[in-house]
Chain A
C-alpha cells in the first residue's frame, strides 16, 4: 500500500518519542547509597533539578564520613579512641561535645539504662568480629568496672573520665547524630524533601510529592512482615531490635543491646521504635527504652514530650506511648 512507508516511519518516530519521554521523567528524585559507619547509608532526595540534588547528597555523605572518623571507636585517630587512651579525659570538638552532652542527659534520665562508657564491654563481646562468644562472669565484671552515667562529665569541650580504663563508645548515638548533620547539610543546599537512612536509623525531611513519608516498622520475628506503618514528616524514626545483630550459643540468642547493670543482652523487649525530632535523641532513647523494658521505658518517654515510642515486649505484646497513634496509618 502506498501509505505503508510513511506509516512505519511515523510509528518509529512515535516509539522514539515515547522512549525519550520515559528516559527523562518529570519527577526528579535520586537514591544514593554508601557504606559508612559500618552500615549502608541511603539518601533519597527529590523535588528539584538532579544536578543540585547530586551535589547536596555528595556533601551529605561527606559529612557522615567526616563524623564517622571523629566519633567511631574503630578509627585510630578518632576522638573517641583518644578519649579511651587518655587517663583523665581530653578536649573534644564541638560535635563530639554535643553528642556526649545529649548522651549524658539520656543516660542520667534513664538511670543508666543508656550508657556512653560501654566501649570495653562491646569490645569484649566482639560483635564486630567473626565469631563472638559469651564472655565469662569475671571478664564482664572487669568490663563494667567504673561505668555509669556519672563516669563522664563535661565541662565545656573538656570531657573528664572518672576512671582511666573507661572506654567511651558513642555507637548508640553517633549514627543518629551523623544523620541529623547530614540532613542539616542537605537543608543548607536547599533540599526540601529527602530521607537519610543509616541502617534503619532515619530522618524524613519534608514530604514526598503529594503526601508525607510512610515508614514501615519491621516485625521483630517475622522478617517479611511489617509490624506497623507510620506517616511522618520532618522527624526521625529509629528502631532498635534484638534481631539486628546477634549470635546463638547453646540455644540462647545473644544480641548487641546490653544492659549496663549486668553486661548481658537486655531481655525486656524484642524491639523498640522511637519517633522524635532528632535521630540522635531517637537513637539514644531507643536503646534506653529497650534496656528498661516496656513499663519503665514508657515512663522514661514521658520525660520527652516530643518523642513517641512503640515497644514490642519480650512476650510479643505491643505497647505504645500515648501520642503514638497519630502517626500510625496501618494496620
Chain B
C-alpha cells in the first residue's frame, strides 16, 4: 500500500495545512483569552472544593493555620482574608481566566480556574 504522502495531492496538502492553521489559531486564541468556568480549590494536594465561577458566593477554606476567605463574584475569584503572616495571597488579585492561580502557601490553599468540559456526570448519588 502506498504511503500517505505518495497518495496526497497538492489539493490535499492545501486542505490539511488550512485545517491545521485554523486549529492552531483557535488554540492560541483560546489559551490567551478564554474565561474560566470553574473554581477548583486544593489543599494539601487533595481537591477540597469546587464551584462554578458564574455563581456569586463566599466560602471559608480550611487550612492548617485557619480559614482563608474566598469570594467569587462577577469579577472572578479572589482571596479577601487569610490567617497567613504576609497576606501575599490577598495581593494576588482576582482570578478569572482559565489557568489563573491564587495561592496561600502557609495555609496550604491553592485556588485554580479551569474550564472543564466533558463527561462529568451531574451527580454521583441522589438523596431522596
Q: Do chains A and B touch in the complex (CB under 8 A)?
A: yes
Residues of A within 8 A of B (CB): 44, 195, 197, 200-202, 204, 207-208, 210-218, 226, 229, 231, 233, 237-239, 241, 243-244, 273, 325-326, 328-330
CB distance from B23 to the nearest CB of A (A): 27
Q: Contact between A330 and B52 (Cβ–Cβ < 8 Å)?
A: yes
Chain B hits for A237, CB < 8 A: 127
CB distance from B68 to the nearest CB of A (A): 13
Interface size in chain B (residues, C-beta < 8 A): 21
Q: Contact between B128 and A213 (Cβ–Cβ < 8 Å)?
A: no
Q: How far is the CA of A197 from the CA of B48 in the complex (A)?
A: 21
Let me know if B9 is at the binding interface, CB within 8 A: no
Interface of A is mostly: strand
Q: Contact between A239 and B123 (Cβ–Cβ < 8 Å)?
A: no
Q: How far is the CA of A204 from the CA of B55 in the complex (A)?
A: 24
Q: Contact between B47 and A207 (Cβ–Cβ < 8 Å)?
A: yes
CB distance from A138 to the nearest CB of B (A): 35
- Of B48, B49, B123, the contact of A229 (CB 8 Å cutoff): B123
Q: Contact between A216 and B126 (Cβ–Cβ < 8 Å)?
A: yes
Chain A hits for B121, CB < 8 A: 214
Name the residue on B nearest A237 (C-beta). B127
CB distance from B61 to the nearest CB of A (A): 10
The 0/1 profile, CB within 8 Å of A marked 1, for residues 101-128 of chain B is 0000000000000000000011111111
Chain A hits for B123, CB < 8 A: 214-216, 226, 229
Let me know if B51 is at the binding interface, CB within 8 A: yes
Chain A hits for B126, CB < 8 A: 200, 215-218, 226
Chain B hits for A231, CB < 8 A: 49-51
Let me know if B46 is at the binding interface, CB within 8 A: yes
Chain A hits for B122, CB < 8 A: 214, 216, 226, 229, 330
14 A–B contacts, CB within 8 A, in A order: A44-B125, A197-B125, A200-B127, A200-B128, A202-B125, A208-B124, A213-B124, A215-B127, A216-B126, A218-B127, A226-B122, A231-B50, A244-B128, A325-B57
CB distance from B92 to the nearest CB of A (A): 21
Chain A hits for B57, CB < 8 A: 325-326, 328
Chain B hits for A326, CB < 8 A: 57-60
- Of A213, A273, A330, the contact of B125 (CB 8 Å cutoff): A213
Q: How far is the CA of A273 from the CA of B127 in the complex (A)?
A: 8
Q: How far is the CA of A239 from the CA of B125 in the complex (A)?
A: 12
Q: How far is the CA of A329 from the CA of B39 in the complex (A)?
A: 11
CB distance from A42 to the nearest CB of B (A): 8
CB distance from B70 to the nearest CB of A (A): 10
Q: Contact between B125 and A211 (Cβ–Cβ < 8 Å)?
A: no
Q: How far is the CA of A218 from the CA of B51 in the complex (A)?
A: 20
Q: Contact between A212 and B128 (Cβ–Cβ < 8 Å)?
A: no
Given A326-B57, A326-B59, decide whether A215 and B50 contact each other with a Cβ distance below 8 A: no
Given A326-B57, A326-B59, decide whether A207 and B124 contact each other with a Cβ distance below 8 A: no
Given A216-B122, A226-B122, decide whether A239 and B48 contact each other with a Cβ distance below 8 A: no
CB distance from A12 to the nearest CB of B (A): 19
Q: Contact between B127 and A329 (Cβ–Cβ < 8 Å)?
A: no
Chain B hits for A238, CB < 8 A: 127
Those of B2-61 within 8 Å (CB) of chain A: 40, 46-52, 55, 57-60
Chain B hits for A214, CB < 8 A: 121-124
Name the residue on A nearest B60 (C-beta). A326
Q: How far is the CA of A243 from the CA of B127 in the complex (A)?
A: 13
